[in-house]
Amino acid sequence: MEYLCSLCGKTVQGDAVEFINHTETHIIDEIKANHPEWEEKDGVCRKCVEYFRRQLKGEE
Ligand SMILES: [Zn+2]
């Protein structure tokens, strides 16, 4: 199954999609700050999750 990542606009395979856990609300907040239309249930492709995880680590 293919999935369209609403953050980067790329189509990825379904197994490359992550749904962010509630323990990572700081990532959810960061994504929403950049993409107000995005919702957790939309999921994110692995590349985007890694990107935002790196962003947050870099700032701390
Ligand atoms: Zn993406």
The tally of CA atoms less than 13 A away on the side-chain side of residue 5 is 20
Q: What angle do CA 60, 30, 51 make, to 5 degrees?
A: 75
Average pLDDT over residues 6-21: 94
Structural domain count of the chain: 1
Average pLDDT over residues 26-43: 94
Q: How far is the CA of 5 from the centre of ligand 1 (A)?
A: 5
- Higher model confidence: residue 27 or residue 58? 27
What is the model's pLDDT at position 59?
57
Average pLDDT over residues 25-40: 94
Q: How far is the CA of 26 from the centre of ligand 1 (A)?
A: 17
Q: How far is the CA of 60 from the centre of ligand 1 (A)?
A: 23
pLDDT above 80 for 60: no
Q: What is the mean pLDDT of the chain?
A: 92
Name the residue range of residue 27's domain: 2-59
Average pLDDT over residues 26-53: 94
Q: How far is the CA of 21 from the centre of ligand 1 (A)?
A: 17
